[in-house]
Amino acid sequence: MQQFAVIFDFNGTMLFDTPLQYQAWNMLAEKTMGRSIGIDQFLRTANGRSSTETVDIFWGNSLTSDEKKTLILDKRQAYKDLCLSHPELFHLADGIPQILDFLKKHGIPFTIATSSNPASVDFYYENLQLNRWFRREDIVCTDGSFRGKPAPDIYCAAAKRLHMHPKDCIVIEDAVAGAYAARGAGIGYVIVIDPEDSGLIWVGEQVDCVIQEHGQLYTMLCDKVNQKTGLS
């Protein structure tokens, strides 16, 4: 069997926290700008991007660096408070533990490549028991050393972290920006999960497959391991 690796985006992929992310950003917009951010606009323009880019999208680029930093810190705190007060939402997506156990059992390299900052990854690592599958130092996150999605840098870094060629990696994403990043990095196969079947993502130049739930991904990976599929 040809060796392959799996790289997971995190927010919206392993953790279905988009409603919490949106609520935190929207609360901040209402507080500082006196208006709401439309959910459709958020999903189309900001989903999958870094906090700095999201501030630029909705607040413009006229803020000072200190003003931008304050907004981002306020948003992060609001988001963490929402996570801890909504345990029914703040947990790994159904099927993810089973998939990670399967990959670990079969010796398939895997990691996370997330637009989240290091402090947020520490928060997830502590509260979602990610140490069961990941070493903290192996998780690739937005630390300011490379460009954010849709630039390919993060997936290039993740493939390198796994000692794999990008073409031998499978990326699991939920956002258009992430799909572009993966394809730009030369990732061999890009899967996007769209649990709401929103129609915002479709198979095309950047995306090889769209799934609605992680049970489909588990089946695809089982078939890959057993060489029953053409999954690249």
Q: Residue 55: name the closest of 82, 76, 81, 39 by CA.
A: 76
Q: Which residues pair with 11 in a beta bridge?
A: 15
Contacts for 72 with CB less than 8 Å, ≥ 6 apart: 51, 52, 55
How would you write the pLDDT of the chain (232 residues) with one tens digit per residue? Answer: 468 999 999 999 999 998 999 999 999 999 999 999 999 889 888 877 778 889 999 998 889 999 999 999 999 999 999 999 999 999 999 999 999 999 999 999 999 999 888 999 999 999 999 999 999 999 999 888 889 889 999 999 999 999 999 999 999 999 888 999 999 999 999 999 998 777 767 788 799 999 999 999 999 999 998 875 556 5
| DSSP code string of the chain | ----EEEE--BTTTB--HHHHHHHHHHHHHHHHSSPPPHHHHHHHTTTS-HHHHHHHHH-S-S-HHHHHHHHHHHHHHHHHHHHH-TTTSSBPTTHHHHHHHHHHTT--EEEEESS-HHHHHHHHHHTTGGGT--GGG-EE--SSSPPTTSSHHHHHHHHHTT--GGGEEEEESSHHHHHHHHHTT-SEEEEE-TT--SS--SSSS-SEEESSHHHHHHHHHHHHTT-S---
The answer to whether the beta carbons of residues 72 and 144 sit under 8 Å apart is no
- pTM, two decimals, is 0.86
Q: Residue 170: name the closest of 6, 2, 10 by CA.
A: 6
Q: Which residues pair with 153 in a beta bridge?
A: none
pLDDT value for 46: 83
pLDDT value for 176: 86
